[in-house]
Structure 1
Amino acid sequence: MTKIKVIFIEIIIALFVVLWFYTGLNKIVDYNNFKSQLGKSPFVEHFAALISWIIPIGEMLIGVMLVYRRTMLLGLHLSFALMLLFTGYVWMMLSYAYDLPCSCGGVLAQLSWEDHLWFNSAFVLLSVIAIIFKTNTSLIPKRKEVLS
């Protein structure tokens, strides 16, 4: 594996770690607002109480998984799945909802719904690239060093 691929994987993982910890902690710190905004969403309003805990805890757990080599690939797969889910949710909101409450916190709350769609799509793509690169590195047998 080339050094460039390793660096690229590390950059993507660092971006996801920052994303998951930032968004997870932000949702917990501003829990009442997060839960309230979820309750206004036409697609998840009935599950807002449950989702308001599952999402931030899940985001931070995925962030932790990405830090450790043993769970990194699983963390990348879960990052892909969660970002794909979030992207689908944003697309559904843009396509079918009249009121667009934003349950994101911090800086991400400043993005428009269209910007969220692009942002999430970019992270879906980054996770796919990292999974492909990481999987290919795992399949390459390590060279045995010859002692002279």
Structure 2
Amino acid sequence: MSRKSPYTSFITLTAFLLGILFIYTASSKLMHLEIFQLRLERMPQLPPIAHWIAWLIPFTELVIAGLLLIPKYRLAGMYASLILLGIFTGYIILVLQTSDSVPCSCGGVLSALGWRHHILLNACFMAMSLIAIILNTKQYRNKILDKHTT
């Protein structure tokens, strides 16, 4: 019987947590699509494309969740998670620096977070994604080395 390495366990846990996060946020946006779109229209630089973004973001989140939950595509999902969270976090920081008011476009439990806490939560998920990517790469290299040494 083989035991899972701590690397594999961390990668799996990270994928699971990110998958839950993206499924939760996507379904929250889709259940309240009109409100989400209205809030996007109030954000700086977004009104002309708010309708498209209102559909694109939850769709992208669901695709990423799917990638994360299928082991074969998990690494791609980790990279996509890191990129999407990075873009969103960068946008939040930019808006906080340049605007007096920032309308919230999140729902459910996440809407209870202030923007600074939201940035911290995103940073934690981004760090987990980055660590999982590094561990996955290290695990892959170890498998390759094992094949060449046996």
Length-normalised TM-score, structure 2: 0.90
Superposed counterparts of 1:11-90, under 5 Å: 11-90=13-92
Equivalent pairs, count: 144
* AA aligned opposite 1:86: F
C-alpha separation between the residues in 2 aligned to 1:43 and 1:119? 24
Q: Which runs of 5+ in 2 are unaligned?
A: none
Q: Deviations over 1:86-114 (max 9, x none)?
A: 11011112111112101111110111011
* AA aligned opposite 2:109: V
C-alpha separation between the residues in 2 aligned to 1:45 and 1:130? 36
Contact 1:5–1:133 (CA under 8 A) maintained in structure 2: yes
CA RMSD in angstroms, aligned pairs only = 1.6
Length-normalised TM-score, structure 1: 0.91
C-alpha separation between the residues in 1 aligned to 2:41 and 2:62? 22
Superposed counterparts of 1:60-139, under 5 Å: 60-139=62-141
Secondary structure of the 1:141 match is: helix
C-alpha separation between the residues in 1 aligned to 2:14 and 2:124? 11
Q: Structure 1 residue 69: deviation in Å?
A: 1.5
C-alpha separation between the residues in 1 aligned to 2:105 and 2:55? 13
